[in-house]
């Protein structure tokens, strides 16, 4: 018994408990980061689409306001709404985000004269 080349049961239990603690803290954090990344990606993508959809109302005088329509972008339904507000044209995009709450982004622009 002078040559002991293995681990004791206590060492194995301590090492496995430390590993489990690390796993149980890292997995929820990674899940939260992934959810937040999807949320920010949707906001960015829908604001780009809103910007592009707002352009005809700013540069073409024959477009009638108010206008409402729905569009499916990456398997999500987004409601676009455009209306006059004082001297500005207001464009809003509404959708249900990753956290199942309603989200709205609005952009404003001056009509070209």
Contact 104, 93 (CB under 8 A): yes
What pLDDT does 86 receive? 86
Name the residue among 97, 64, 58, 95 with its Cα closest to residue 80.
Answer: 95
Name the residue among 83, 84, 76, 82 with its Cα closest to residue 103.
Answer: 76
What pLDDT does 3 receive? 67
Query: Chain-wide mean pLDDT for the chain?
Result: 91
Q: What are the residue boundaries of the structural domains of the chain, listed by start?
A: 9-110
Tens digits of residue pLDDT in 15-57: 999 999 999 999 999 999 999 999 999 999 999 999 999 999 9
Task: State the pTM of this model.
Answer: 0.77
Contact 78, 70 (CB under 8 A): yes
């Amino acid at each position: 018994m002078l040559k002991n080349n293995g681990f004791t049961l206590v060492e194995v239990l301590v090492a496995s408990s430390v590993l489990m603690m690390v796993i149980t803290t890292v997995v929820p954090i990674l899940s939260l980061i992934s959810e937040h990344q999807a949320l920010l990606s949707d906001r960015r993508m829908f604001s780009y689409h809103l910007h592009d959809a707002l352009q005809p109302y700013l540069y073409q005088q024959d477009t009638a306001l108010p206008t409402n329509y729905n569009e499916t972008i990456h398997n999500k339904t987004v409601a676009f709404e455009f209306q006059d507000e004082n001297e500005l044209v207001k464009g809003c995009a509404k959708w249900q985000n990753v956290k199942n709450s309603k989200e709205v982004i609005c952009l404003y622009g001056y009509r070209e004269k």
